[in-house]
Amino acid sequence: MPDRSPSTTPANQAVNQAATPDALVIGAGPGGLAAAAAMRQRGVRPLVVERAEQLGASWRGHYDRLHLHTTRRLSSLPGLRIPRAYGRWVGRDDVVRYLEAYAEHHALDIATGITVDRIDRGGNGDGDGDGWEMPATGGRVLRSPVVVVATGHNHTPYIPDWPGRDAFPGELLHAARYRNPAPYAGRDVLVVGVGNTGAEIAVDLVEGGASRVRLAVRTAPHIMRRSTAGWPAQASGILVRRLPPFLVDKVAPRVERLSVPDLSQYGLPRPQTGLYARVLEGAIPVQDVGLIAAVRSRRVEIVAAVEGFEDGEVLLADGTRIAPDAVIAATGYRRGLEPLVGHLGVLDGRGRPVAHGARQPAGARGLFFTGFTNPISGMLREMAIDSRKIAAAAARLLVSLPS
């Protein structure tokens, strides 16, 4: 294969280069690239297909100030370390540069601009040895005995269907469309949602000159320092990853009280539910990158959750009404897997894959998922671990198939 950046490889040419791949990877983000690289190292020939025109599309679309909340050393994908020059907390643009270098380093075949609409069982339809068929852009039908779904945890932006939202005269956008605070200088902004994205955008707006910043909170989050005396929160997450949740939930409040001040008087009481219990529900602790200081200085005001919109105002859960110029909904994403695999019976009631990593859903031999969990130990780290396990399982499966 020519030595060039896969992000600029024409889609048709890339498909032709690997017309009969051993494995098909859907999604050219960190999870998909890691799985493809790990398979190549085991002699498996994967083809990566990506609906966007460039790899790493999700990272390219994030807001400007975003940095990894996990350390560089613990965030590298298999086979290539993140350069030390990128610093301990790697910025968005450097993550993109790393992904481009990673794909080139491993000589990955990547076809961009191709959307896979659905995954169907091939052959006689039992999905056991007959592989998979995937209708794709341009009338193509892609076939492979192994499919890795890596379309990402943050696939489809989600805004709640708040009553009256369509009649709101101000600006209403999802956090996925937020880039930097410049358009909001001198404006009154409400950020909805106190996950890591909402917290960081609120701080960004304050530092960027917004006249007023309010943060709507439904459930008080667990807040942790990203690093304490040089010890990253991620390292603690790795240490407790396999411990019983009840044990972690018993110890975590003591750590939080020592490292994070009580913000109850500012509207952020300490959570009543356990830290690990919340993680298992999908709520990762907020890594402090300025939120604590901004709340204590009242530059970020905590308000109640949004209930709806009426007469140009936002209705809050405590009965108050406010009239911001703009509302930024940091209200999460949907995985968007139902059209792709919902008919295969491989999703749970919340639309999450019932298996991930090397485990394949019952009755779906050769179908793997990666990147659909948000573990306390760091998503990139877990994707790296998953990729090696997927590659080993895929190699074993391919050997077992009739020649």
Examine domains 6-155+335-400 and 157-329 and report if their fold is the same.
yes
In 331-373 the beta strands, taken as DSSP E runs, fall at: 333-334, 367-369
DSSP 164-183: TGGG--SEEEEGGG---SGG
Question: Token pair for residue 220?
Answer: 């008080």
> Which two tokens mark 206?
């304050």
What pLDDT does residue 11 have?
A: 45
Which pLDDT score is estimated for 123? 60
Cα–Cα distance measured from residue 390 to residue 36, given in angstroms and rounded to the nearest whole number? 9
Q: Which residues contact 189 (CB under 8 A, 6 or more apart)?
A: 205, 210, 212, 213, 214, 324, 325, 326, 327, 328
Cβ atoms 189, 216 nearer than 8 A: no
Sort 242 into a burial class: Cβ within 10 Å, 0-12 / 13-18 / 19+.
Answer: exposed
**Which numeric CATH code is attached to 6-155+335-400?**
3.50.50.60
Number of other residues whose CB lies within 10 A of the CB of residue 179: 12
> How far is C-alpha 369 from the chain's CA centre?
14
Amino acid at 282: G
Q: At 310, which helix (H) or strand (E)?
A: strand 306-310
Residue ranges per domain, the chain?
6-155+335-400, 157-329
Q: What percent helix, strand, coil does the chain show, rounded to 5?
A: 35, 20, 45
pLDDT tens, per residue, the chain with 403 residues: 333 344 444 444 444 444 579 999 999 999 999 999 999 999 999 999 999 999 999 999 999 999 999 999 999 999 999 999 999 999 999 999 999 999 999 999 999 999 999 999 986 444 444 699 999 988 889 999 999 999 987 888 999 999 999 999 999 999 999 999 999 999 999 999 999 999 999 999 999 999 999 999 999 999 999 888 888 888 888 888 788 888 888 888 888 888 899 999 999 999 988 988 888 787 889 999 999 999 999 999 999 999 999 999 999 999 999 999 999 999 999 888 999 999 999 999 989 999 999 999 999 999 999 999 888 889 999 999 999 999 999 999 999 988 6
- Rg (C-alpha) for the chain, rounded Å, is 22
What is the CATH architecture of 157-329? 3-Layer(bba) Sandwich (3.50)
User: What tokens appear for 110 in the block?
Assistant: 């990547």
Q: What 3-state class would DSSP assign to 8?
A: helix
Q: Are 159 and 309 in contact (CB under 8 A)?
A: no
Specify the pLDDT at position 169.
96
d(CA 135, CA 128): 19
Alpha helical stretches, state H, 156-306: 196-207, 233-240, 245-259, 275-280, 291-296
DSSP element (H, E) containing 40: helix 30-41
Neighbours of 254 (CB within 10 A): 9
- Whole-angstrom distance, CA of residue 122 vs CA of residue 143: 8
Q: Which pLDDT belongs to residue 126? A: 44
* Helices marked H in 80-195: 92-105
**Other CB atoms within 10 A of residue 161 CB:** 8
Give the number of C-alpha atoms closer than 13 A to the C-alpha of residue 260, restricted to the C-beta side.
Answer: 29
Nearest to 377 by CA among 174, 259, 276, 235: 235
How many Å apart are CA 261 and CA 264, to the nearest integer?
9
Residue with tokens 């025109």: 53
